[in-house]
């Protein structure tokens, strides 16, 4: 077994859970799943109740786009009081998907004959797999400059070097695997840069972690107020937001100009029909009912905010430990992950596992900590053993 197979998420998690079952104290920073302090997966009673109590109501096929209640409700959940403004100024196409991953796949597949996908150098590894399976070519730009800021110079250089049209994928907020967030000025520069190239560059925002971000409202406001010349694709994950990791729910949202023809909706319907036949009615039917319950929505929003604050406390605690140990890390603002730099990372992971600390390997000098699966009580142990 090579080092990357040994320290990938599934292998590391398997070893961590084996130790946990043996009754040993384990710091499991490998899983991208959000856990409570007691070790249970974070989910929310109000959403759970709507799915469980209405299970048999949605045994029929759903439409290819997903139930209207789900699509309308999800747009309201995401855009909140900005939705009316968005609808007045833009056209919107939305299709229910099996998580954020299928949303990405659909966007890539729909553009694979005309576009090249452009990713940042530090990224979620599954982007590469999705690109391969959707048969779209991809290129890379450097993510951070020497000052650990978003590298707009590298991005523009790569845009200039690519001959075809480009689908630019930006994973923000809570970038996986660093926890980096773009700021308001970054969004202004990003949108201006895209418009500079007229119709060459189309933006896809991977918003998988939107609900657990401190910059959520700013991002939504920027999306609503944007005057992009090209369509804007949004990949969103209800699975991530509500803790239904194995019950795949999400959406691909396309925002385009009022005077532009809707070529997206029929394309997505055809795609669903030709792959999974129908969206997951059991999942998005129940969630559609939840979205209509204003009090339940408010309660879950508050619960998610509380979890966001808890994750941030853990993340800031990990940052302080890394600083104290003189371990360099990439900029972390919020979210599920933080990534640090360590020479001969595989050997260091071997050492950590001897202390029952489980992280995952990104490359030979980079290690990812899944803050979402840590407990606040783990910080003391990490401080003693990192």
Angle, CA 195 vertex, CA 193 and CA 201 arms, to 5°: 85
Instruction: State phi, psi for 122 to the nearest 5 degrees.
Output: -95, 120
- Residues 327 and 386 sit within 8 Å (Cβ to Cβ): yes
- Cα 126 to chain centroid distance, Å, stands at 11
In angstroms, the Cα distances linking 348 to 19, 31, 330, 360 are 19, 19, 18, 11
Closest by CA to 45, choosing from 250, 302, 282, is 302
Closest by CA to 99, choosing from 218, 252, 276, is 252
- Residues 112 and 136 sit within 8 Å (Cβ to Cβ): yes
Closest by CA to 103, choosing from 228, 224, 226, 210, is 210
End-to-end, the C-alpha distance of the chain in Å comes to 25
- Give the helix/strand (H/E) hosting 365: none
DSSP string over 14-68: HHHHHHHHTT---EE----S-B-TTSPBP--HHHHHHHHHTGGGG-SPPPTT--H
Cα 99 to Cα 284: distance, rounded to the nearest angstrom: 11
Structure token digits, residue 192:
């201006």
Segments in the chain below pLDDT 70 = 1-4
Cα 217 to Cα 211: distance, rounded to the nearest angstrom: 10
The pLDDT score that the predictor gives to residue 9 is 82
The pLDDT score that the predictor gives to residue 1 is 56
Closest by CA to 141, choosing from 169, 163, 113, is 169
- Residues 255 and 91 sit within 8 Å (Cβ to Cβ): yes
Angle, CA 299 vertex, CA 294 and CA 305 arms, to 5°: 125
In angstroms, the Cα distances linking 353 to 25, 32, 80, 375, 381 are 12, 18, 44, 17, 13
DSSP 143: S
- Residues 290 and 302 sit within 8 Å (Cβ to Cβ): no
The pLDDT score that the predictor gives to residue 292 is 97
Closest by CA to 371, choosing from 322, 312, 298, 301, is 312
Structure token digits, residue 25:
């104290």
Instruction: State phi, psi for 42 to the nearest 5 degrees.
Output: -70, 120
Cα 10 to Cα 125: distance, rounded to the nearest angstrom: 13
Cα 361 to Cα 380: distance, rounded to the nearest angstrom: 23
Cα 55 to Cα 264: distance, rounded to the nearest angstrom: 30
The pLDDT score that the predictor gives to residue 375 is 93
Cα 360 to Cα 383: distance, rounded to the nearest angstrom: 18
Cα 130 to Cα 193: distance, rounded to the nearest angstrom: 26
Give rounded-to-5 percent helix, strand, coil for the chain.
50, 20, 35
């Amino acid at each position: 077994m090579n080092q990357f197979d040994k320290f990938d998420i599934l292998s590391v998690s398997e070893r961590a859970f084996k130790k946990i079952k043996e009754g040993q104290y384990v710091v499991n920073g490998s899983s991208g799943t959000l856990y409570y302090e007691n070790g249970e997966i974070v989910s929310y009673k109000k959403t759970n109740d709507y799915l469980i109590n209405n299970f048999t109501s949605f045994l029929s096929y759903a439409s290819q786009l997903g139930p209207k209640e789900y699509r309308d409700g999800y747009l309201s959940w995401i855009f909140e009081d900005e939705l009316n403004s968005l609808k007045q100024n833009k056209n919107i196409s939305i299709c229910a998907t099996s998580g954020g991953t299928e949303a990405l796949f659909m966007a890539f597949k729909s553009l694979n004959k005309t576009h090249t996908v452009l990713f940042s150098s530090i990224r979620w590894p599954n982007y590469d797999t999705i690109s391969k399976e959707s048969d779209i070519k991809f290129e890379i730009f450097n993510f951070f400059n020497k000052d650990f800021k978003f590298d707009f110079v590298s991005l523009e250089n790569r845009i200039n070097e690519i001959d075809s049209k480009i689908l630019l994928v930006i994973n923000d907020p809570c970038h996986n695997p660093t926890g980096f967030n773009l700021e308001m000025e970054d969004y202004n520069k990003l949108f201006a840069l895209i418009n500079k190239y007229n119709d060459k560059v189309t933006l896809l925002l991977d918003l998988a972690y939107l609900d657990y971000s401190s910059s959520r409202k700013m991002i939504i406001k920027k999306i609503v107020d944007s005057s992009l010349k090209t369509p804007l694709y949004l990949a969103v994950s209800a699975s991530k937001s509500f803790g239904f990791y194995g019950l795949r729910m999400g959406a691909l949202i396309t925002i385009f100009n009022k005077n532009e023809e809707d070529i997206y909706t029929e394309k997505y319907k055809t795609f669903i029909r030709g792959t999974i036949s129908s969206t997951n009615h059991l999942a998005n039917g129940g969630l559609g009912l939840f979205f209509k319950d204003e009090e339940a929505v408010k309660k879950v929003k508050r619960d998610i905010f509380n979890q966001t604050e808890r994750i941030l406390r853990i993340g800031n605690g990990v940052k302080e430990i890394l600083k104290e140990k003189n371990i360099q890390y990439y900029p972390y603002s919020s979210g599920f992950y933080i990534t640090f730099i360590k020479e001969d990372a595989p050997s260091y992971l071997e050492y950590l596992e001897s202390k029952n600390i489980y992280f995952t390997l990104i490359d030979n000098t980079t290690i990812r900590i899944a803050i979402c699966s840590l407990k606040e009580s783990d910080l003391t142990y990490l401080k003693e053993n990192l």
